[in-house]
C-alpha cells in the first residue's frame, strides 16, 4: 500500500469529515448570495449607497488573490491548520460585519471575510481529494456542489427575511454558530501527519502575486463601472498589475519554494484543465449576473421567479457532477468533459438564439441544461488534475484551478458588462426595450465562452489508463485509505 508523504485521513472518519466540509462550503456559498437581498436595508441603516458595490468587489478580490497563497501553505504545513485558520478569519470577519457602524467599515470587514473564504473553499475540495479515491471523488464533489444549489435558494430567501424583519446584521451573525460547529467538527475528526521540515516561505512571490492580481482584478471589476476603460485609473491598474505580475514570474523562477510553481502551467493536463476552469467561471457568472435582470426587465418577472429560473443552473450542476464518476470510470476524464462541454454549448446556444423572444420556462430549461453540462466539465477536469499529482502538490493544483475560475468570473463579468452597456446605450431611452438586445448580446458572448471551453477540453491529453471502482486511476500518486 503506497501512501503520500502525509498520512492524510488514515486515522479519520470520512463521513463526519465530509459533513464538516459541506458545512464549511455552505458558509461561503450562503454568504455569496445572502448579502444581495439585504443591500437596501444595509444602505438605509449605515448609508453609503454609492459604495455598496464594494461589498461584493472587496470580498471577491480578497478571496481570489488569497487562494494561491493558502494552497501553497496547505502543501507545506498541511490542510488542517489552513482550513481552520480560514474558518477563524471568516468568523472574525462575520462578527465585525455584524457590528459595523458605517459602509466603509463594513467593506473593510468584508475583506476579512473574503480572506477566510479564500482558504475554506479550496481546502474543502483538496481535503476531499485527499481522503477519497478517484472513483469516489465525483460523488463527493456532487455533494459539495449540492451545497451551492441549496444555498442559491436559501441564501436570498434568508437575506430577504432578515431584511424584512429589520435585522440585516443577522445575515453575518448567523455565521457564528456555523463557523464554531464546522471548526469543532474538523478539529475533532480530521487528522493528518505532516513531516516537520523547514520550509522557505516565498514572501516576495506572495506579495507580488497578491498585489498584481488585486490590481488586475480591480481593473476588470471596475472598468466601465467606477471609471471608463480608457481612463487613467483603468490604464494605471492594468499597467501596474501587468508589470508586477511579470516581476512575480521572474521571482518565481528564482524562489526555492515558489508560491505558484511554474510547472503548474508547463504540464499539458494542468494547463488545459486550468483553462477549462477559467471558462467555467466566465460562463457561470455571465448567466448568474444577467439571467435575473433579463427576466425581470423583459418579462416583468418577479425576483422570486427570476431567482428560481436561475436556480435551475445550480440544480443541474450537482445532479450531473455526482454521476460523472460513472462516466469517467468508463470513458475517461477527457471524453466525460467533452460530453459536458457540448451539453453546455447546447444550453447556452438555446438561450442565445431565443433571447429576442423571451420565455421564462425556456430560460429555466436552458439554464438547467447548461448546469448539467458544467457538472460534467468542472468536477471531472478538477479530479483529473488532482489525480495527476502527489499530496504535496495537490493543494497548489486545486488552488490554481479555483483561482482560474475566480479570474474567469471577474474577467467574464467585466467583458459581459462592457458588451451589455454598449448595446444598452443605443436604446437607453426605452429601458425595457433595451434590456432584451443587451441581454441577448451577453448570452451570445457566453456561448462564445462555451465554444472556447470546447477547444480547451479537446486539448486535454488522452487518458492513459482506466479508473477502477476500487482505487485511484493510473497516475494518481497518492492512495488514501479511510473508513466511513
CB atoms within 10 A of CB 139: 16
Percentages (nearest 5) of helix, strand, coil residues in the chain: 80, 0, 20
Q: Which residues contact 155 (CB under 8 A, 6 or more apart)?
A: 29, 30, 31, 32, 33, 34
Alpha carbon distance 451, 445 (integer Å): 10
Residue with cell 435551475: 312
Same-domain check for residues 273 and 146: no
Same-domain check for residues 325 and 294: yes
What is the maximum span of the chain, computed from C-alpha positions, in angstroms? 70
3-class DSSP state of 150: helix
Q: Is residue 419 part of a domain?
A: yes
Same-domain check for residues 131 and 272: no
Alpha carbon distance 243, 240 (integer Å): 5
Same-domain check for residues 225 and 169: no
Residue burial 37-52, b: 16+ Cβ < 10 Å; e: rest: bbbebbbebbebeebb
Same-domain check for residues 241 and 343: no
Determine the length of the chain: 484
pLDDT along the chain (484 residues), means of 10: 42 79 88 76 80 79 87 88 95 95 92 93 89 84 82 77 85 92 91 75 87 86 78 92 94 87 88 95 86 82 76 86 87 95 96 90 94 93 91 88 87 82 69 79 94 96 56 36 30
The last residue of a domain, from among 213, 231, 256: 256
Q: Is residue 423 part of a domain?
A: yes
Same-domain check for residues 293 and 419: yes
Same-domain check for residues 142 and 213: no
Same-domain check for residues 212 and 188: no
The last residue of a domain, from among 141, 159, 192: 192
8 Å CB contact between 95 and 180? no
Q: Is residue 355 part of a domain?
A: yes
Alpha carbon distance 247, 241 (integer Å): 10
Alpha carbon distance 171, 158 (integer Å): 8
Q: Which residues contact 25 (CB under 8 A, 6 or more apart)?
A: 120, 121, 124, 144, 147, 148
Q: Is residue 4 part of a domain?
A: no
8 Å CB contact between 375 and 316? yes
Residue burial 349-375, b: 16+ Cβ < 10 Å; e: rest: bbbbeebeebebeebbbbbbbbbbbbb
CB atoms within 10 A of CB 464: 10
Here the CATH number for the domain that contains residue 423 is 1.20.1250.20
Q: Is residue 269 part of a domain?
A: yes
Alpha carbon distance 392, 244 (integer Å): 27
Give residue 429's pLDDT.
Answer: 53
Alpha carbon distance 25, 149 (integer Å): 11
Task: Compute the C-alpha angle 73/74/75, nearest 5°.
Answer: 90
Q: Is residue 339 part of a domain?
A: yes
The DSSP call for residue 227 is B
C-alpha cell at 82: 489552513
3-class DSSP state of 483: strand
Give residue 47's pLDDT.
Answer: 83
Same-domain check for residues 230 and 140: no
Domain total in the chain: 3
User: For the CA atoms of the chain, what is the radius of gyration?
Assistant: 22
Give residue 55's pLDDT.
Answer: 84
8 Å CB contact between 213 and 66? no
Q: Is residue 484 part of a domain?
A: no
Q: Is residue 388 part of a domain?
A: yes
Strand partners, 223: 227
Same-domain check for residues 268 and 390: yes
Range of the domain at 105: 9-192
Alpha carbon distance 415, 4 (integer Å): 42
Same-domain check for residues 17 and 162: yes
Residue burial 243-270, b: 16+ Cβ < 10 Å; e: rest: ebbebbeebbeebeebbbbeebeebebb
Same-domain check for residues 173 and 285: no
The last residue of a domain, from among 227, 256, 285: 256
Amino acid at each position: 500500500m503506497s501512501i503520500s508523504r502525509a498520512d492524510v485521513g488514515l486515522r479519520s472518519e470520512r463521513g463526519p469529515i465530509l459533513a464538516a466540509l459541506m458545512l464549511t462550503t455552505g458558509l461561503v456559498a450562503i454568504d455569496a448570495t445572502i448579502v444581495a437581498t439585504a443591500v437596501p436595508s444595509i444602505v438605509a441603516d449605515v448609508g453609503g449607497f454609492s459604495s455598496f458595490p464594494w461589498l461584493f468587489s472587496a470580498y471577491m478580490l480578497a478571496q481570489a488573490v488569497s487562494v494561491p497563497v493558502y494552497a501553497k501553505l496547505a502543501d507545506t504545513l498541511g490542510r488542517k491548520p489552513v482550513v481552520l485558520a480560514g474558518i477563524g478569519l471568516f468568523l472574525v470577519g462575520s462578527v465585525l460585519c455584524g457590528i459595523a457602524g458605517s459602509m466603509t467599515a463594513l467593506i473593510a470587514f468584508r475583506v476579512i471575510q473574503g480572506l477566510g473564504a479564500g482558504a475554506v473553499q479550496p481546502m474543502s475540495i483538496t481535503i476531499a481529494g485527499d481522503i477519497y479515491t478517484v472513483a469516489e471523488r465525483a460523488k463527493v464533489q456532487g455533494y459539495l456542489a449540492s451545497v451551492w444549489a441549496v444555498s442559491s435558494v436559501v441564501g436570498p430567501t434568508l437575506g430577504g427575511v432578515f431584511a424584512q424583519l429589520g435585522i440585516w446584521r443577522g445575515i453575518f451573525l448567523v455565521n457564528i454558530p456555523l463557523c464554531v460547529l464546522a471548526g469543532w467538527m474538523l478539529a475533532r475528526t480530521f487528522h493528518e501527519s505532516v513531516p516537520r521540515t523547514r520550509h522557505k516561505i516565498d514572501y516576495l512571490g506572495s506579495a507580488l502575486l497578491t498585489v498584481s492580481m488585486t490590481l488586475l482584478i480591480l481593473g476588470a471589476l471596475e472598468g466601465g463601472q467606477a471609471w471608463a476603460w480608457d481612463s487613467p485609473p483603468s490604464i494605471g491598474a492594468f499597467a501596474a498589475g501587468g508589470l508586477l505580475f511579470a516581476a512575480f514570474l521572474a521571482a518565481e523562477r528564482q524562489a526555492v519554494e515558489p508560491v505558484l510553481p511554474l510547472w503548474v502551467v508547463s504540464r499539458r493536463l494542468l494547463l488545459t484543465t486550468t483553462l477549462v476552469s477559467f471558462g467555467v467561471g466566465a460562463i457561470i457568472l455571465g448567466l448568474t449576473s444577467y439571467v435575473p435582470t433579463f427576466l425581470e426587465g423583459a418579462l416583468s418577472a418577479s425576483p422570486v421567479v427570476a431567482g428560481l429560473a436561475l436556480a435551475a443552473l445550480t440544480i443541474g450542476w450537482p445532479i450531473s457532477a455526482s454521476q460523472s464518476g460513472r462516466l469517467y470510470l468508463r470513458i475517461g476524464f477527457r471524453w466525460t468533459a467533452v460530453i459536458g462541454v457540448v451539453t453546455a454549448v447546447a444550453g447556452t446556444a438555446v438561450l442565445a438564439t431565443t433571447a429576442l423572444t423571451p420565455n421564462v420556462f425556456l430560460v429555466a430549461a436552458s439554464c438547467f441544461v447548461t448546469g448539467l453540462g458544467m457538472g460534467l466539465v468542472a468536477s471531472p477536469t478538477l479530479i483529473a488534475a488532482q489525480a495527476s499529482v502527489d499530496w504535496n502538490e495537490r493543494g497548489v493544483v486545486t488552488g490554481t484551478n479555483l483561482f482560474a475560475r475566480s479570474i474567469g468570473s471577474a474577467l467574464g463579468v467585466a467583458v459581459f458588462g462592457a458588451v451589455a452597456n454598449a448595446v444598452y446605450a443605443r436604446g437607453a431611452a426605452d429601458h425595457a426595450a433595451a434590456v432584451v438586445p443587451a441581454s441577448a448580446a451577453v448570452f451570445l458572448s457566453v456561448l462564445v465562452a462555451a465554444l472556447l471551453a470546447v477547444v480547451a477540453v479537446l486539448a486535454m491529453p488522452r487518458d492513459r489508463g482506466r479508473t477502477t471502482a476500487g482505487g485511484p486511476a493510473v497516475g494518481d500518486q497518492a492512495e488514501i485509505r479511510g473508513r466511513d
